[in-house]
Amino acid sequence: MGDNLRLYSYWRSSAAYRVRIGLNLKGLEYEIVPVHLLQDGGQQHADGYRAINPQELVPTLLHGQRRLTQSLSILEYLDEIWPDNPLLPATARERQRARSLAQLIACDIHPLNNLRVLQYLDHQWHVPQPDRDDWIRHWIEVGFRVLQEQLHDHPSTGTFCDGDTPGISDCCLIPQVYNARRCGIDMGAYPAIVRIEKACLALPEFDDARPENQPDAP
């Protein structure tokens, strides 16, 4: 059981998507509280939500009275509190690689393409939509080229990013591939990524976490 877990989420948020996958892989029950990032000027900026997460970002996970932020740290928290179905491998060397892959996506690719960056490019610098789309594609492709190299023929790569059990790096990969496809990126250049994506999305834990399967999806 999830012990009263409540996830503040937006259906298309990559960071929230990561945590949904992790919760599902752990077999934990949780309630989703939608926070619409575009309606009403962005519900994440409302006083009520700011009191929950001063960063005004999603996700936030409530575990009883605890308020947990930052998707990667939430995933590691889940692993420490509920060690069954681990999201991180057993050895220090394997954990380092899994964290490295996860951070390549969550810290290097995603921040350059998230909503507040794109809104700044639009509102402050008046960057046209086609140029913002090029910005998104550029930084995803830069990251995916490296990720493809690190996954292709690496002895630790298995069915999933690290071995034959999905873990923290897969939790990060699938939302980023979703964004890449939504932006029209040709995934043919990244066969290792596509193979792992197919293996992940065949699992109900990943399928249930898809943006289109969320209660706040349009």
pLDDT tens-digit readout, 126-138: 999 999 999 999 9
Examine the pLDDT at 179 and tell me if it is beyond 50. Answer: yes
Residue 59: is the preceding peptide bond cis (ω within 30°)? yes
- How are strands ordered across the β-sheet holding 5-9? 31-34, 5-9, 60-63, 66-69
Share of the chain above pLDDT 90, in %: 99
DSSP letter at 37 equals S
* Band of residue 3 on the pLDDT scale cut at 50, 70, 90: confident
Most distant pair of Cα atoms in the chain: their distance = 49
Q: Answer whether 52's CB lies under 8 Å from 7's CB.
A: no
CA atoms within 13 A on the CB side of 135: 18
Nearest residue to 33 (alpha-carbon basis) of 204, 214, 218: 214
Q: What pLDDT sits at residue 1?
A: 42
Report the C-alpha gap between 160 and 157 in whole angstroms. Answer: 6
Domain ranges of the chain: 5-85, 92-205
The pTM for the full model equals 0.96
Q: What is the pLDDT of residues 5-19, one digit of tens each?
A: 999 999 999 999 999
CATH number of 5-85: 3.40.30.10
Q: Which CATH architecture has domain 92-205?
A: Up-down Bundle (1.20)
In the three-class reduction of DSSP (H, G, I as helix; E, B as strand; rest coil), residue 61 is classed as: strand
Report the C-alpha gap between 193 and 214 in whole angstroms. Answer: 24
C-alpha distances (whole Å) from 126 to each of 111, 118, 122 are 19, 10, 4
Examine the pLDDT at 2 and tell me if it is beyond 70. Answer: no
In the three-class reduction of DSSP (H, G, I as helix; E, B as strand; rest coil), residue 11 is classed as: coil
